[in-house]
Structure 1
């Protein structure tokens, strides 16, 4: 083999090595990108799962059948303007208001994370979470209807609300058991959300 042939072979080998090096670099870059994407997805999924569980627990707390003095307290100015009956009515309203305010903190946190999830993953997760938000809205509506029906100072209006209330399922109080109807509905709606997010964590079911 002459010098020209050796030179051509060397050039071919160098060109091949360059191609292989470029392919290896691209493969490494893709692996790095994929790893970063997986890590970011897993972290977002973890944060959303935690927010969902806090959302669930705070919603359950709204339905807790026992009310505590701290929840029902009225300030001195309120009490001075109300009769004893009115004080009892207003204290119950205050308790539910405080409970719902605490829940809203968790709901806002979840909503902010869902905006991020929509931007990254599309709306698939939001559609699944919407079933949980429907239950939240049902409870909010029932509480307000219940308070208007039983703690309204306008007795005629209260009677009308009581008629409406009879047509709704009673989800006001948590029975603190697994067969509580609201809990059962929430657990059922939560299951596909958990499966989706655990898939992002690489844990599956």
Structure 2
């Protein structure tokens, strides 16, 4: 083999090696990029869920707030009010106020539901399981508020009211937040259930690309 042939062989080997090395670097770079993309996606999803969850918590707390301010309580139109008793007017305003409070809860729950579907596709059903306790507490509060409004409705059937009173005797009264320095039983359970979701998601907010 001549010197030129040896040189050509060495050059070909070197070029092949460089190509292989470049391919390896490119593959490693692609892997890093994928990890970065996955980490960023999970970060954004976790952040959205936590923000919506905290807004949802505040909306639940708003439903339970014992004070109902005048700006929350709408009045019927003049024409409607003419045929209504003072109790009817009071019921109209308070029921509308609670309806508005619940709309805020549902707004945040709808936002949470959309992100939960994405989370289920990525992480499986574990997060949904954690949310069950939270939604169970919401359902308990919803029923309590519904019963409260039926009991104060002047046009509600007395038999229905008696049935509700019998049902509520067997259940805890969670209608109003006690607003004490320490959370009441319902709020404590809600905070603990929310903390489980926080603990599940927060590692994604500390994600570091390797």
TM-score, length of structure 2 as denominator length: 0.87
Residue 7 (structure 1) shift: 4.0
Residue of 143, 146, 150 corresponding to 2:145: 143
Task: Quote the residue 2:114 is aligned against.
Answer: 112
Whole-angstrom CA distance in 2 between matches of 1:145 and 1:8: 89
Whole-angstrom CA distance in 2 between matches of 1:91 and 1:162: 23
Task: Quote the residue 1:180 is aligned against.
Answer: 184
Once the two structures are superposed, residues 91-121 of structure 1 have per-residue CA deviations (whole angstroms, 9 ceiling, x without a partner) of 2222211211222222212222222222333
Distance 1:193 1:150, change over 3 A: same
Whole-angstrom CA distance in 2 between matches of 1:57 and 1:131: 17
Alignment of 1:52-63 (within 5 A): 52-63=53-64
- Which shifted more, 4-13 or 107-116? 4-13
Alignment of 1:150-161 (within 5 A): 150-151=152-153, 153=155, 154-161=157-164
- Which shifted more, 94-103 or 3-12? 3-12
1:150–1:158 Cα contact (<8 Å) kept: no
1:74–1:91 Cα contact (<8 Å) kept: yes
- Which shifted more, 116-125 or 174-183? 116-125
TM-score, length of structure 1 as denominator length: 0.89
- The runs of 5 or more residues in structure 1 that have no matched partner are none
Q: Is residue 2:165 matched to residue 1:162?
A: yes
Q: Is residue 2:198 matched to residue 1:194?
A: yes
Ranked by relative contact order (alpha carbons within 8 Å, sequence separation 6 or more), the top structure is 2
Q: Is residue 2:15 matched to residue 1:14?
A: yes
Once the two structures are superposed, residues 44-97 of structure 1 have per-residue CA deviations (whole angstroms, 9 ceiling, x without a partner) of 111111111001001110000001122222222432221112222332222211
- The runs of 5 or more residues in structure 2 that have no matched partner are none
1:150–1:162 Cα contact (<8 Å) kept: no
1:142–1:172 Cα contact (<8 Å) kept: yes
